[in-house]
Amino acid sequence: MAKKKKEKFLTIAETAKYTGIDPNVLRNGLQKDKFPFGWAIQNENGRWTYYIPKKLLESYV
């Protein structure tokens, strides 16, 4: 059986460097679903987690 390749996710810092977009703008945009290359999820404690798949970002840039 073939192993499924794990998708690589980028951090906010990596994405900011790659795109030239300010990290705070990225966080805010992902929280408000303004970017097509990732998403943000808020947990019950109010903390945000950001998911930015490398392939989605590459297709955007």
CA proximity to 49, closest of 35, 34, 38, 61: 38
Residue 55 confidence (pLDDT) above 80: yes
- 2-49 pLDDT, tens digit each: 555 566 999 999 999 999 999 999 999 999 999 999 999 999 999 999
Is 37 within 8 Å of 60 (Cβ atoms)? yes
Query: Quick check: pTM over 0.75?
Result: yes
Is 57 within 8 Å of 10 (Cβ atoms)? yes
Residue 52 confidence (pLDDT) above 80: yes
pLDDT on residue 2:
53
Contacts by residues 18-23 (CB-CB < 8 Å, ≥ 24 positions apart): 18/57, 18/61, 19/57, 19/61
Residue 1 confidence (pLDDT) above 90: no
